Amino acid sequence: MTPDVNVLVAAFRPDHPHHPIARAWLDDSVVQAANGRNSLMLMGTVVTGFLRITTNPKVFQETDPLQDVTDFVDSLLSCSGVQFQTQGAIWANLRQVCLSQQVSGNLVTDAWMAATVMQSGETLCTFDRDFSRLLPSAQLLLLKP
């Protein structure tokens, strides 16, 4: 499984309206990864987005200290079965997703994530319905707020 930025932000911030759902999913995913029943992969672009959003005063009036945000990521990565996704040759998948779905603008980052998920064989967990057009249903877990 691979969380989207919105899932990590919601799981991290107790004041987020989707916190209980996202935190429950993340906690369960960490346990499943530790027990070898599932994988939990953090994508570099997701971690970057998580850092950008949680520390941005234009997004949250009370931002999170960078140390707390990086500690959260470190705590996830220290769990057995949780991995940081290494960069691979995803260009062919990214090109396919962009061209087949005529992706442009803000959806390009989502297309990159979808291509990475397809290449890795993972499943993306997100609140973002845009991924319904980018990923096969077998590789998408849409959380309901």
pLDDT at residue 11 greater than cutoff 90: yes
- Give residue limits of the domains in the chain: 2-142
Pairing mode, strands 124-126 and 82-84: unpaired
Beta strands at 124-126 and 2-3: parallel, antiparallel or unpaired: parallel
Q: What's the average model confidence in pLDDT over 13-31?
A: 97
Looking at residue 87, what is its pLDDT? 66
Contact, 111 vs 97, CB < 8 A? Answer: yes
The predicted structure's pLDDT at residue 45: 86
Q: What pLDDT score does 103 carry?
A: 80
What's the whole-number mean pLDDT along residues 6-22? 97
DSSP state letters, the chain:
-EE-HHHHHHHH-TTSTTHHHHHHHHHHHHHHHHTTSS-EEE-HHHHHHHHHHHT-TTT-SSPPPHHHHHHHHHHHHTSTTEEEPPP---HHHHHHHHHHHT--TTHHHHHHHHHHHHHHT--EEES-GGGGGTS-GGGEEEPP-
Give residue 119's pLDDT.
86
More confident residue, 101 or 131: 131
Mean pLDDT, rounded, of the chain? 91
CB atoms within 10 A of CB 5: 24
Q: For residues 90 and 114, what is the distance between their CA atoms, to the nearest angstrom?
A: 10
Residue among 56, 44, 42, 77 nearest 13 (CA):
56
How much is the average pLDDT of 12-24?
A: 97
Mean pLDDT of all residues in 96-124: 85
Residue 101 predicted with pLDDT over 80: yes
23-79 per-position pLDDT tens digit? 999 999 999 999 999 999 998 889 988 998 999 989 999 999 989 999 999 999 999
CATH class of the structural domain 2-142: alpha beta
Judge whether 100 and 93 are in contact, CB under 8 Å: no
Average pLDDT of the segment spanning 87-107? 78
